[in-house]
Amino acid sequence: MSRLAAGGSIDRRQPLAFTFDGKSYQGFAGDTLASALIANDVRLVGRSFKYHRPRGILTAGAEEPNALVTLRSGARAEPNSKATTVELYDGLEAASQNRWPSLGFDMMAVNGLLSPIFVAGFYYKTFMWPRRFWERLYEPLIRRAAGLGALSGLPDPDSYDRDHAFCDLLVIGAGPAGLMAALTAGRAGARVLIVEEDFALGGRLLAERHEIDGQPAADWVAAVAAELASLPTVRVLKRTTLFGGYDSCTFGAVEKVADHLVTPAAGQPRQRLWKIAAKRTILATGAVERPISFGGNDRPGVMQASAVEAYVNRFATAPGKRIAIFALTASGLRLARALKAAGIEVPAIVTPDGTGDGSTIAGMVTATHGKTLRSIEVSGRRIEADILAMAGGWNPAIGIASHLGARPVWDDAIHAFVLKTPPAGMALAGAAAGHFSLGEAIDDGLREAQAALADLGMPATVGARPATSDDPAGVGTLWSVPGSKGKAFVDFQHDVTVDDIALAEREGFRSVEHLKRYTTLGMATDQGKAGQVNGQALLAAATATAMGEKGTVIARPPDRPVAIGAFAGAHTAAHFRPVRLTAGHAWAAENGASFVDTGQWKRAQWFTRPGESDWLESVTREARAVRTGVGICDVSTLGKIEVAGPDAATLLDRLYTNMMSTLPVGKARYGLMLREDGFVFDDGTAARLADDRYVISTTTANAARVMQHVDYCRHVLWPELDAQAVSVTEQWAQVAVAGPNARVLMQRLLPDMDLSNEAFPFMASAQCRWRDGPARLFRLSFSGELAYEIAVPADRGAALMRALTEAGRSFGVTPYGTEALGVLRIEKGHPAGNELNGQTTAHDLGMGRMLSARKDFIGRALAGRAALTDPMRPTLVGLKPVRPGERVRGGAHLLPLGAAARAEHDQGYVTSACFSPVVDGWIALGLLANGPSRIGERVRAVSPVRGTDVEVEVCSPIFFDPEGVRLRG
Amino acid sequence: MVGALPAAGGGLAVSERGDLGIATIMARASSTAALAQRVAERFGIALIDGPILSGAGAVRFAGTGPGSWLSFCEGADPFWACSMAVQLDGVASVFDQSSGYAVLRLGGAEAMPMLQSGAFIDLHADAFPVGAVAVTVIAHVGAILIRVGEAQFDVAVFRSFAGSFWHWLATSAAARGVPLHRFSEDG
């Protein structure tokens, strides 16, 4: 065990048991998985992505490239979890990844021996030929060899929640700058939201030993946390990672609600996605320490100095017995004091120029030795050390600001990219602003919070600035170490080395963006937060360009990997999107309906009766029942829009191709709408309820689009028209009653109305009463039969279905679904969604005569384009197989007889096909070039998808009752 | 009656407001002032053309867009919207929506946090005070929110979405560990 006897912010009274690769260990509450592994002397935790090199824990934060583990097992397994950010819990189960058969002995480590050929661009150069090998051989092999953890492949048993927050001031990061800012703004009564990724507040104060206001920093943090908790306008979100900045100062964050529990409690989500809107934001995300690119810098035991400091001070562990330091920064030198205070031997402190106290060695680490680190080489001299802490400088964590378009610039004073001009509404504080000392962090937090308050017109209460201990923060640079032996890594997770950068430069990839793509520098799950700048600096040096000129890549969201489940939230499986149910849904389900998704709606597709084993059997029975008796069909999903006002008629005349202003009150008319480009938009009916009021219907699919179109026309195109319109789709449940017995049935339902052909003829409409409530009756027919549509308020929809069933029981009223509806309309040659597909014109659908020449309407001018009136356009026809019993398939291509089934012979396609009970065979509608003049001609209907090739005869699209006698009967 | 809280307080009380007459009221062109005057005459309500609830009695008008309101009437008969159309004849178009919306009343200390978790509009009392109205989206379902009390909201969703909306409500309440009390209209 390497646990220190005292100190740290772990709770020694709460031991926690956990396993890593099946072996049992113990840690304490307050540990991360990484700190607990270190306390248990586990040095080797993973294998690298490409070379399968053994790797140990490098960092103590979210920038960790090495210690990626699979957390939990079974369906709850979560690959690529960073051990450095996983909060330890009792029963935690973790496994290493990307190794076979074991972490200690990994067969794929042979890749490391082959590394001379596995250089940057290796895949591009090597797997070019033969081309066909790529998909079948190369890619599967590469994917197996390289890569990270694997998904379980099982459905996620957990749920994900969502929340929203609004605040005056969003503080990102709860280190000294963030805490100071939140406190200042919270005391002034501002609505403050402070988000912290860690499970503890304090940021660097957790890891470093400082004094604030004469007390240990941890006490100051505790006092601030207590005060923040007491302020009614302040909300603190721990375990919450802010991962993206978006337009208008909105942000995305994910809160780990139950990630630190074995199993979430019932109903408890694993994670919660936050969408945050902030009037002002302070980015206090700190900085990420850089590694140094010397030979063997990836050996287990080589760690970031800041990480070693965190493991010693915060987690009370000794990562090693002899910890050497290689530092370019003042913070690195500070580590020596912490180590000595913890009783850990420091065999060497190395700085390139000998900066430091008298014991510092002027020189560089050029090599490391041991399976896990046993010694380092400094200027040819071996020094025994089991840990090397490297302090290579600091990268301000400015990714979130970059999401909002701010471009990083190089600062020669601190050798880092910083933001000189943060995005509007955002300020940077502390290390994120490139101000690395504690005093500056406190100052920044105070000042920026006061500035935000002033901006928002809120008076700031002046509090004393806490006194802080002295904190030197100098930073040096050393981009490469001359005389290095062995690989020197720049990007640990993607195995990008100093040599790869040089190779990329030699091969012409000289911009940072090209370098990134060619070498995959910074493209791993850690997004190169630690080492990417080192690679860019090497490129700058190789091209003799200043860093400021070479620049860096721009971070895009997410700043950290986020589980897709968090974005999906509760919207998975059956709840993937909202479902719309008609008022008659439950009734339909009781009557054996199978449902089909039509947009968000569930529509009854057919109603299976006892003894029926095949959907076609049910559909045929339903269609036959409508032709011979009476059927009822729920058509509530069709869009219904009520248009009212003195100019309602004028508006409809402009929306429809045909005239609606001449429609008398009490009548309905079929109507066609075009898009601006002249193609058919939608069809439906318009019924005039009063001089100044119509109700129009749309197809189910286009209901929302037509409503938008009507509103656009009213508000934007013709605001001078006094016409109002609103969707009433939800208000009315509507049922089609069709068949020779429809009148008898309707008369039973509405005994007080005269439904004779004279009083209520085809295309009549009326507002009436049913059971002492409002109702609407239309004599419309989609089936070609004597038919009505009755509408009642939706809360009576189920009662209407029951009343119709009851009233029609004696003559076998039959509910029918969308499939039978389809059969009936195909038999009548009525276009529906398959034909109104956005690519057809009125002429294509045989409705050219509906384009009124007496008025203007939307789409008129462009419908007259030569290309849209070309007779060679595929036009609606009927199709029937030449050999009875053969089945025509929807989507089949129409080709001349004898022509090869190739695209150049394509003359159209089958849009709709069905088995017609009245024809007693398969029939179809299709769009065929110059169709109407080819009646009687035979063509081939070829479906390469279904492997069918059927000879069909071109015929009229109306297969049944072409004179329309029945619907007027 | 509707929305009574459990004796212990706290939690979330949900009830459906089933007795409502609902109508969309849209002012005729250049008639917003005339409509306001008519509403003042007939209902004694100062109609506000904005996202505010006008009226405190049985009939109320919730502003849902410029010159557009959703009007509610408690205990309305099935032909209430027709009578409303007569009352406002010439100054507004009236469309019956009594059956078009499911209206839920959410009450209790958790009502605001619950709705906030669904709606990306600021529901803090300073930004969304009593009487405020918003046309927004919750869990991909269009919703009209009305703050009827400090801790009481009416939410109107198109009735076909009621099942999906209830699913959101139930899972979100469970996610927060909030006990959900469902009340029927008659208590």
pLDDT in tens, A868-906: 999 899 999 999 999 989 999 999 999 999 999 999 999
Q: Which residues of B touch A646 (CB under 8 A)?
A: 28
Residue position matching structure tokens 């029937």: A880
- Please tell me the distance from the alpha carbon of residue A852 to that of residue A664, in angstroms, as a whole number: 18
Across the interface, whether the CB atoms of B175 and A730 are under 8 A apart is answered no
Closest CA–CA distance from residue B159 to any residue of chain A (Å)? 6
For residue A599, the Cα-to-chain-centroid distance in whole angstroms is 20
Neighbours of A849 (CB within 10 A): 11
Q: Give the CATH superfamily of B20-96.
A: Heterotetrameric sarcosine oxidase (3.30.70.1520)
What pLDDT is attached to residue B11?
84
pLDDT category at A116 given cuts 50, 70, 90 is low
Contact predicate A282/A170, CB 8 Å: yes
Region of poorest pLDDT, from A471-475, A686-690, B37-41: A471-475
**Which stretches of A139-232 are DSSP H helices?**
139-145, 176-187, 217-230
Mean pLDDT of A690-694: 97
Mean pLDDT of A730-747: 98
Across the interface, whether the CB atoms of A161 and B175 are under 8 A apart is answered yes
Across the interface, whether the CB atoms of A267 and B175 are under 8 A apart is answered yes
Contact predicate A304/A391, CB 8 Å: yes
For residue A240, pLDDT over 80 is answered with yes
Residue A180's SS3 state is: helix
- Quick one: residue A742, left, alpha or beta (phi over 0 = left, psi -120 to 50 = alpha)? alpha
Q: Where are the beta strands (DSSP E) in A652-786?
A: 668-674, 680-690, 693-698, 724-727, 732-738, 765-770, 773-778
Residue A926's identity, in one-letter code, is G
Mean pLDDT of A652-665: 98
Q: What percent of chain B has pLDDT over 90?
A: 86
What pLDDT is attached to residue A126?
65
Across the interface, whether the CB atoms of A161 and B117 are under 8 A apart is answered yes
Q: Which two tokens mark A766?
A: 């009326």
Mean pLDDT of A558-575: 92
- Please tell me the distance from the alpha carbon of residue A147 to that of residue A769, in angstroms, as a whole number: 69
- Angle (CA) A751 A757 A761, round 5°: 105
Q: Which residues of B touch A601 (CB under 8 A)?
A: 160
Angle at which helices A742-749 and A797-808 cross, to 10°? 120
- Please tell me the distance from the alpha carbon of residue A678 to that of residue A658, in angstroms, as a whole number: 14
Q: Convert the pLDDT of each residue in B144-181 to its tens digit.
A: 999 999 999 999 999 999 999 999 999 999 998 888 77
Q: In the predicted model, what is the mean pLDDT of chain A?
A: 94
What pLDDT is attached to residue A784?
96
Interface subset of A 52-71, CB within 8 angstroms of B? none
What pLDDT is attached to residue A463?
75
Q: Is A136 exposed, middle or buried (0-12, 13-18, 19+ CB in 10 A)?
A: exposed
From the list B93, B100, B163, the residue facing A644 with the nearest CB is B93
Contact predicate A95/A76, CB 8 Å: no
Mean pLDDT of A502-519: 94
Closest CA–CA distance from residue A213 to any residue of chain B (Å)? 36
**DSSP string spanning A760-804?**
S-TTBEEEEEETTEEEEEE---SSSSSEEEEEEEGGGHHHHHHHH
Region of poorest pLDDT, from A50-54, A169-173, A833-837: A50-54
- Please tell me the distance from the alpha carbon of residue A806 to that of residue A787, in angstroms, as a whole number: 18
Residue position matching structure tokens 């789709």: A729
Closest CA–CA distance from residue B175 to any residue of chain A (Å)? 5
What pLDDT is attached to residue B179?
81
The residues with which B14 forms a beta bridge, in sequence order, are B106, B182
Across the interface, whether the CB atoms of A267 and B99 are under 8 A apart is answered no
Mean pLDDT of A129-140: 71
For residue B71, pLDDT over 80 is answered with yes
pLDDT category at A129 given cuts 50, 70, 90 is low
Q: Which residues of A touch B71 (CB under 8 A)?
A: none
What pLDDT is attached to residue B8?
41
Interface subset of A 85-144, CB within 8 angstroms of B? none
Q: Which residue, A535, A530, A531, A532, is CA-closest to A501? A: A535
Mean pLDDT of A714-731: 98
Q: Best mutation site among A166, A602, A731, A769 for testing chain B: the one with the most B CBs within 10 Å? A: A731
Mean pLDDT of A220-238: 98
- Establish if A796 touches chain B: CB-CB under 8 angstroms: yes
Domain ranges in chain B? 20-96, 101-175
What pLDDT is attached to residue A144?
64
- Establish if A579 touches chain B: CB-CB under 8 angstroms: yes
Strands of the sheet containing A631-634, edge to edge, are: A765-770, A773-778, A787-793, A732-738, A631-634, A814-815
Largest CA distance in chain A: 114
Q: In the predicted model, what is the mean pLDDT of chain B?
A: 91
For residue B184, pLDDT over 60 is answered with no
For residue A131, pLDDT over 90 is answered with no
Q: Which two tokens mark B171?
A: 């899972």
Q: Best mutation site among A166, A577, A715 for testing chain B: the one with the most B CBs within 10 Å? A: A166
pLDDT category at B7 given cuts 50, 70, 90 is very low
Mean pLDDT of A562-591: 95
Q: Looking at chain B, which residue has its C-alpha nearest residue A792?
A: B99
Angle at which helices A648-655 and A703-712 cross, to 10°? 120
For residue A118, pLDDT over 70 is answered with no
Q: What percent of chain B has pLDDT over 70?
A: 91
What pLDDT is attached to residue A472?
81
From the list B79, B100, B177, the residue facing A728 with the nearest CB is B100
Mean pLDDT of A241-250: 95
Strands A160-172 and A271-283: parallel
Q: Which residues of A touch B119 (CB under 8 A)?
A: 164
Interface subset of A 217-256, CB within 8 angstroms of B? none
Q: Looking at chain B, which residue has its C-alpha nearest residue A723?
A: B28
Q: Which residues of B touch A265 (CB under 8 A)?
A: 177
- Please tell me the distance from the alpha carbon of residue A40 to that of residue A303, in angstroms, as a whole number: 17
> H or E stretch including A501?
helix A498-506
Q: Which residues of A touch B159 (CB under 8 A)?
A: 583, 730, 794-795
The residues with which A497 forms a beta bridge, in sequence order, are A489
Residue A643's SS3 state is: strand
Region of poorest pLDDT, from A190-194, A311-315, A668-672, B5-9: B5-9
| Beta-carbon contacts of residue A787 (< 8 Å; ≥ 6 apart) | A736, A737, A738, A739, A742, A779, A780, A781, A967
Across the interface, whether the CB atoms of A726 and B167 are under 8 A apart is answered no
For residue A124, pLDDT over 70 is answered with no
| Beta-carbon contacts of residue A375 (< 8 Å; ≥ 6 apart) | A368, A369, A382, A383, A384, A385
What pLDDT is attached to residue A651?
98
- Please tell me the distance from the alpha carbon of residue A108 to that of residue A138, in angstroms, as a whole number: 16
Across the interface, whether the CB atoms of A731 and B99 are under 8 A apart is answered yes
Alpha-carbon separation of residue A488 from A299, A480, A499, A513, A851 (angstroms)? 10, 9, 8, 22, 75
Q: Convert the pLDDT of each residue in A538-556 to its tens digit.
A: 999 999 999 999 989 999 9
Q: Domain B101-175's class?
A: alpha beta
For residue A140, pLDDT over 80 is answered with no
Q: Convert the pLDDT of each residue in A367-405 to its tens digit.
A: 999 999 999 999 889 999 999 999 999 999 999 999 999
Across the interface, whether the CB atoms of A645 and B28 are under 8 A apart is answered yes
Q: Is A469 exposed, middle or buried (0-12, 13-18, 19+ CB in 10 A)?
A: middle
Residue B61's SS3 state is: strand
Closest CA–CA distance from residue B170 to any residue of chain A (Å)? 10
- Please tell me the distance from the alpha carbon of residue A360 to that of residue A338, in angstroms, as a whole number: 16
For residue A921, pLDDT over 90 is answered with yes
Q: Best mutation site among A650, A708, A730, A767 for testing chain B: the one with the most B CBs within 10 Å? A: A730
Q: What is the DSSP letter of A580?
A: B
Mean pLDDT of A5-11: 95
Mean pLDDT of A825-845: 96
- Please tell me the distance from the alpha carbon of residue A925 to that of residue A909, in angstroms, as a whole number: 9
Interface subset of A 685-724, CB within 8 angstroms of B? 693, 720-722, 724
- Quick one: residue A370, left, alpha or beta (phi over 0 = left, psi -120 to 50 = alpha)? left
What pLDDT is attached to residue A589?
97
What pLDDT is attached to residue B185?
42
Q: Which residues of A touch B98 (CB under 8 A)?
A: 731, 793, 795
Mean pLDDT of A107-130: 68
Contact predicate A4/A342, CB 8 Å: yes
- Quick one: residue B62, left, alpha or beta (phi over 0 = left, psi -120 to 50 = alpha)? beta
Residue position matching structure tokens 């140990």: A56
Q: Helix and strand tally (H, E) in chain A? A: 26, 49
Q: Which residues of B touch A583 (CB under 8 A)?
A: 159
From the list A570, A577, A722, the residue facing B29 with the nearest CB is A722
Across the interface, whether the CB atoms of B93 and A645 are under 8 A apart is answered yes
Region of poorest pLDDT, from A120-124, A610-614, A692-696, B171-175: A120-124
What pLDDT is attached to residue A123?
64
- Please tell me the distance from the alpha carbon of residue A557 to that of residue A764, in angstroms, as a whole number: 58
Contact predicate A509/A503, CB 8 Å: no
Q: Which two tokens mark A66?
A: 């090495």
Kindly provide the ipTM of the predicted complex, given to two decimals. Answer: 0.95
Across the interface, whether the CB atoms of B99 and A580 are under 8 A apart is answered no
**Which stretches of A61-201 are DSSP H helices?**
110-113, 122-126, 133, 139-145, 176-187
| Beta-carbon contacts of residue A48 (< 8 Å; ≥ 6 apart) | A55, A66, A98, A298, A492, A493, A495
Region of poorest pLDDT, from A467-481, A746-760, A841-855: A467-481
Q: Which residues of B touch A773 (CB under 8 A)?
A: 78-79
Across the interface, whether the CB atoms of A645 and B96 are under 8 A apart is answered no
Residue position matching structure tokens 């972490």: A103
- Give me the total of CB pairs closer than 8 Å, taking one residue from chain A and one from chain B: 124
| Domains of chain A, CATH where assigned | 11-122 (3.10.20.440), 161-287+396-455 (3.50.50.60), 288-394+474-550 (3.50.50.60), 585-637+731-824 (3.30.1360.120), 639-727 (3.30.70.1400), 871-968 (2.40.30.110)
For residue A663, pLDDT over 90 is answered with yes
What pLDDT is attached to residue A147?
63
Residue position matching structure tokens 């960092």: A59
Tell me which of B9 and A870 has the higher pLDDT: A870
Peptide bond into A558 cis (omega under 30): yes
Alpha-carbon separation of residue A434 from A869, A922, B15 (angstroms)? 67, 75, 54
Across the interface, whether the CB atoms of B116 and A164 are under 8 A apart is answered yes
- Quick one: residue B75, left, alpha or beta (phi over 0 = left, psi -120 to 50 = alpha)? left
Closest CA–CA distance from residue B60 to any residue of chain A (Å)? 19
What pLDDT is attached to residue B2?
35
Closest CA–CA distance from residue A612 to any residue of chain B (Å)? 30
Q: Which two tokens mark B2?
A: 């509707």
pLDDT category at A148 given cuts 50, 70, 90 is confident
Q: Which two tokens mark A406?
A: 């701010």
B32 phi, psi to nearest 5 deg? -60, -40
Largest CA distance in chain B: 51
